[in-house]
Structure 1
Amino acid sequence: MADPTFGRYSEIPLDSMTPEQRTGYDSIIKDRGICPGPYKIWVESPALMKLMIPMGVYYRSGSGLSEAEREIAVLVLLGKWGAAFPLSEHEWIAEGTSGYSKAGIPAEQVERVISGLPVSFEDNRQQVVYEIASTLVNSRYVPKGLYDRALKELGTNAISDLAVIMGYFTMVAFTLMFHDVPSFAEGLKR
C-alpha cells in the first residue's frame, strides 16, 4: 500500500488512473479548476464521480438557496460532525474571504454556527435555514410553526434543496472524517 497523501488516504497518481478514473478527474478539473476535498477520494470510483460532480455544480449555481443560505446549512452540519477539513474550508467560504464565494456571513455568526451556539440572522430566509438545519442535525422533530415559516420563506423546492445539500455534505464529512483528513490538507500536487 502506498504512503498516505491526503489524511490517511493514498491518492491515485494521474499515471496510475484507469481511463474511467481519469475521465472523472478531468471532469472535476474542467468544472472547478482543481480536484477538491472529497473528490480526491471519490475519483477512485468513476460511477460515484458521475453522480457527485453534477450535484456539486447544482448547489453552486442552480439551487433555490443563496450562497449564504447554503453555507449556513453546511456549517451547521459540518459543525455537528466536527469534520476538520471541510469545516476549515467552509469557514472562510462562508465569510466570503476565500475568493470562491460571496456569502459574506460575519465571522462572529460563522463561529457561533460552527460551535453550535445560538445565533440570529437579520434575513428571515437565513434564520429559517439556520433553524431547520439545527433542528435536523440534532434529530429533532420539526414543529408545525417552523414548518409553516419555512414554507412561507423558502417554498417547497428550496426546502428540498436544503435537505439534500445536508445529505450531500454528510457524505463529504464522512468521507473526509473516515480518512482523517486534517484542516488545510493539500494532497498530491497535480
Structure 2
Amino acid sequence: MNKRLPDFDADHATDEQEAVLKEILSGPRGNLNGPFLGWIHSPEFAQHAQRLGAFCRYETGLPLRLSELAILVTAARWRSQAEWFIHHPIALKAGVPSAVADALREGGTPAFDDADDALIHAFATELYESRRVSDRTYDRAVERFGHVTVINLVGLLGYYSLVAMTLNTFDMRAEGQTDLPFDE
C-alpha cells in the first residue's frame, strides 16, 4: 500500500495498535482503507486522528453529499490519489453530480445546479486559496448551516487535508487502486 513506511504486521502489533485497529474496524468505517496503516506506526496519533476523522466524516451536521463534495475539493486540491479513489464513488452515490466531480479532478470550476454545493465549493476554495474566507461567503455559510456546522466544516477540510498530506507524503494507495486520477 505504500513505499515509504515499513509494512505493518498485525501479528506483532502492540496493545495500543490493536486497540486503534479494533476501534476503526468496529466503527462506521469498518475498514482500514486510507491513512490508518500509515498512522498505526504512531498509535497515539492514530487513535486521536481516527476519532476526529469519524466525527468529521459522519457528524458534521452537513448532509453526506456536501461532506463528500468538500472531501473531493480537498482531494483535488492536494491531488491525493487514494483520497480521491476512496471518496469519488461515495460522493457520486451521495448525489454529487459526475460533471462536478470531473471538473474538480481536472482542476476546473464546476457549474453547480445546487446552491449548497456552490456554497461548499466557494467556502473550501476560498479557504485553500487565500487561507481565509471572505465575509460574504462566511455570512452565507453561517446563515445556511449555522455556526456549529461551519466550525465542523472547517474541521472536515482540515482533517481531510491531513489525510491527503499523509497519503501523499508516504506514497500510499487505496486498496485495489491501480489507476491514478491525477498525473504525477
TM-score using structure 1 length: 0.84
CA distance in 2: counterparts of 1:46 and 1:121, whole angstroms: 41
Pick 1 or 2: higher relative contact order, CA cutoff 8 A, min separation 6.
Answer: 2
Q: Which residue does 2:155 correspond to in 1?
A: 164
Q: Which residue does 2:7 correspond to in 1?
A: 11
| Residues 141-162 of structure 1, C-alpha deviations (whole Å, 9 max, x = no match) | 4222222211211211111111
Which of 31, 35, 39 is the matching residue for 1:38?
35
Q: Which residue does 1:22 correspond to in 2?
A: 18
Q: Aligned partner of 2:70: which letter? A: A
Q: Give the number of equivalent residue pairs.
A: 176
Deviation for aligned residue 1:171? 0.9
Deviation for aligned residue 1:183? 5.5
Q: Which residue does 1:178 correspond to in 2?
A: 169
Q: Aligned partner of 2:11: which letter? A: D
Point out the more displaced range, 175-184 or 164-173.
175-184
- What is the RMSD computed on CA atoms of the aligned residues? 1.9
Is the Cα–Cα contact under 8 Å of residues 70 and 120 in structure 2 kept in the other structure?
A: yes
TM-score using structure 2 length: 0.86
CA distance in 2: counterparts of 1:24 and 1:141, whole angstroms: 34
- After the TM superposition, which segments of 4 or more aligned residues of structure 1 sit over 3 Å from their partners? 182-186
CA distance in 1: counterparts of 2:15 and 2:132, whole angstroms: 46
* Secondary structure of the structure 1 residue equivalent to 2:130: coil
Q: Percent identity?
A: 28
Which of 72, 75, 81 is the matching residue for 1:75?
72
Q: 1:97-112 residue pairs with structure 2 within 5 A?
A: 103-112=94-103
Deviation for aligned residue 1:184? 4.7
In structure 2, relative to structure 1, the CA distance for the partners of 1:114 and 1:158 (3 Å cut) is: farther
Unpaired runs of at least 5, structure 2: 178-184
Is the Cα–Cα contact under 8 Å of residues 125 and 154 in structure 1 kept in the other structure?
A: no
Q: Which residue does 2:59 correspond to in 1?
A: 62
Is the Cα–Cα contact under 8 Å of residues 38 and 170 in structure 2 kept in the other structure?
A: no
Q: Aligned partner of 1:137: which letter? A: Y
Is the Cα–Cα contact under 8 Å of residues 8 and 180 in structure 1 kept in the other structure?
A: yes
CA distance in 2: counterparts of 1:182 and 1:60, whole angstroms: 20
| 1:88 and 2:79 correspond | no
Is the Cα–Cα contact under 8 Å of residues 75 and 84 in structure 2 kept in the other structure?
A: yes
* Secondary structure of the structure 1 residue equivalent to 2:50: helix
CA distance in 2: counterparts of 1:79 and 1:48, whole angstroms: 25
